[in-house]
Protein backbone atom coordinates (compact mmCIF):
# COMPACT_ATOMS: atom_id res chain seq x y z
CA UNK A 1 0.00 0.00 0.00
CA UNK A 2 1.33 3.45 -0.91
CA UNK A 3 2.39 5.76 1.87
CA UNK A 4 1.73 9.48 1.69
CA UNK A 5 2.65 12.64 3.50
CA UNK A 6 0.08 15.37 4.00
CA UNK A 7 0.32 18.84 5.55
CA UNK A 8 -2.63 21.04 6.36
CA UNK A 9 -2.96 24.44 7.95
CA UNK A 10 -5.88 25.69 10.02
CA UNK A 11 -6.87 28.21 12.64
CA UNK A 12 -7.80 26.97 16.10
CA UNK A 13 -11.33 27.60 17.31
CA UNK A 14 -11.49 27.90 21.09
CA UNK A 15 -7.79 27.19 21.65
CA UNK A 16 -6.75 26.39 25.21
CA UNK A 17 -4.64 23.77 26.98
CA UNK A 18 -7.52 21.29 27.57
CA UNK A 19 -8.58 21.51 23.89
CA UNK A 20 -5.03 20.87 22.74
CA UNK A 21 -4.63 17.98 25.17
CA UNK A 22 -7.85 16.44 23.83
CA UNK A 23 -6.64 16.75 20.25
CA UNK A 24 -3.31 15.14 21.07
CA UNK A 25 -4.76 12.29 23.15
CA UNK A 26 -7.25 11.41 20.42
CA UNK A 27 -4.72 11.76 17.61
CA UNK A 28 -2.14 9.59 19.34
CA UNK A 29 -4.61 6.78 20.05
CA UNK A 30 -6.15 6.85 16.57
CA UNK A 31 -2.80 7.17 14.79
CA UNK A 32 -1.29 4.23 16.68
CA UNK A 33 -4.29 2.15 15.65
CA UNK A 34 -4.13 3.33 12.00
CA UNK A 35 -0.35 3.26 11.41
CA UNK A 36 -0.08 7.04 11.06
CA UNK A 37 2.75 9.17 12.41
CA UNK A 38 3.23 12.91 12.35
CA UNK A 39 3.53 16.22 14.10
CA UNK A 40 1.21 19.04 15.15
CA UNK A 41 2.68 22.52 15.42
CA UNK A 42 0.22 24.49 17.47
CA UNK A 43 -0.38 27.78 19.13
CA UNK A 44 -3.37 30.07 19.69
CA UNK A 45 -3.34 31.48 16.13
CA UNK A 46 -2.34 28.51 13.94
CA UNK A 47 -2.21 24.75 13.58
CA UNK A 48 0.10 23.15 11.04
CA UNK A 49 -0.03 19.38 10.99
CA UNK A 50 1.91 16.75 9.08
CA UNK A 51 0.43 13.27 8.77
CA UNK A 52 2.25 10.34 7.20
CA UNK A 53 1.22 6.79 6.62
CA UNK A 54 -0.94 4.54 4.45
CA UNK A 55 -2.86 6.62 1.92
CA UNK A 56 -6.27 5.22 2.90
CA UNK A 57 -5.68 5.83 6.62
CA UNK A 58 -4.45 9.39 6.01
CA UNK A 59 -7.53 10.05 3.83
CA UNK A 60 -9.88 8.86 6.59
CA UNK A 61 -8.06 10.98 9.18
CA UNK A 62 -8.18 14.02 6.87
CA UNK A 63 -11.94 13.59 6.49
CA UNK A 64 -12.33 13.56 10.30
CA UNK A 65 -10.15 16.66 10.66
CA UNK A 66 -12.24 18.55 8.11
CA UNK A 67 -15.38 17.84 10.21
CA UNK A 68 -13.71 18.79 13.51
CA UNK A 69 -15.16 22.05 14.84
CA UNK A 70 -11.99 22.80 16.80
CA UNK A 71 -10.49 24.02 13.48
CA UNK A 72 -11.54 26.73 11.05
CA UNK A 73 -10.09 27.73 7.66
CA UNK A 74 -8.71 24.22 7.12
CA UNK A 75 -6.62 23.93 3.98
CA UNK A 76 -4.63 20.95 2.74
CA UNK A 77 -1.32 22.31 1.45
CA UNK A 78 0.80 19.22 0.72
CA UNK A 79 -0.21 15.74 -0.37
CA UNK A 80 2.53 13.58 -1.84
CA UNK A 81 3.86 10.05 -1.98
CA UNK A 82 6.74 9.33 0.36
CA UNK A 83 9.30 6.66 0.96
CA UNK A 84 10.62 7.71 4.38
CA UNK A 85 8.73 9.10 7.35
CA UNK A 86 9.92 12.27 9.11
CA UNK A 87 8.37 11.20 12.44
CA UNK A 88 8.59 7.39 12.43
CA UNK A 89 8.59 7.14 16.23
CA UNK A 90 5.81 9.64 16.93
CA UNK A 91 2.10 8.81 16.77
CA UNK A 92 1.74 12.59 17.07
CA UNK A 93 4.54 14.84 18.15
CA UNK A 94 3.55 18.31 19.24
CA UNK A 95 5.52 21.53 19.09
CA UNK A 96 4.24 24.83 20.49
CA UNK A 97 6.16 26.97 17.94
CA UNK A 98 6.34 29.83 20.41
CA UNK A 99 9.20 31.80 18.91
CA UNK A 100 10.68 30.20 15.81
CA UNK A 101 7.79 30.03 13.34
CA UNK A 102 5.95 33.10 12.05
CA UNK A 103 4.88 36.00 14.25
CA UNK A 104 1.17 36.44 14.87
CA UNK A 105 1.23 39.46 12.52
CA UNK A 106 2.80 37.29 9.78
CA UNK A 107 0.13 34.62 10.30
CA UNK A 108 -2.58 37.29 10.13
CA UNK A 109 -1.10 38.52 6.83
CA UNK A 110 -1.25 35.00 5.36
CA UNK A 111 2.25 33.55 5.88
CA UNK A 112 0.83 30.01 6.01
CA UNK A 113 -1.20 30.61 2.85
CA UNK A 114 1.78 31.81 0.85
CA UNK A 115 4.35 29.32 2.18
CA UNK A 116 5.54 26.90 -0.50
CA UNK A 117 5.48 23.12 -0.17
CA UNK A 118 9.25 23.26 0.39
CA UNK A 119 8.80 25.90 3.12
CA UNK A 120 6.23 23.76 4.93
CA UNK A 121 8.32 20.61 4.66
CA UNK A 122 11.35 22.55 5.99
CA UNK A 123 9.34 23.59 9.05
CA UNK A 124 8.67 19.94 9.91
CA UNK A 125 12.24 18.90 9.08
CA UNK A 126 13.38 21.42 11.71
CA UNK A 127 11.07 19.92 14.33
CA UNK A 128 12.07 16.37 13.37
CA UNK A 129 15.73 17.21 13.95
CA UNK A 130 15.13 18.82 17.34
CA UNK A 131 15.12 16.78 20.54
CA UNK A 132 11.63 15.58 21.39
pLDDT band at 132 (very low <50, low <70, confident <90, very high): low
Given this model, what pLDDT does residue 8 score? 96
What is the side-by-side order of every strand in the sheet holding 37-43? 71-81, 3-12, 46-54, 37-43, 93-95
pLDDT tens column, 51-97: 999 999 999 999 999 998 888 899 999 999 999 999 999 999 988 76
- Residues 6 or more apart whose CB falls under 8 angstroms from that of 62 comprise 6, 8, 51, 76
Q: Which domains does the chain have, with CATH numbers?
A: 3-129 (3.30.70.100)
Given this model, what pLDDT does residue 55 score? 97
Residue ranges of alpha helices (H) inside 35-103 are 55-67
Give burial (CB, 10 Å; 0-12/13-18/19+) of 103.
exposed
Which of the pair, 15 or 7, is modelled with greater confidence? 7
**For residue 99, pLDDT beyond 80:** no
Amino acid sequence: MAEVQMIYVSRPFGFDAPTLAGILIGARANNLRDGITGCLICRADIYIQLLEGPEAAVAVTWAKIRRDDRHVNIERRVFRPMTERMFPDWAMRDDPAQSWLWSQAEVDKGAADTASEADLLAIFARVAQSPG
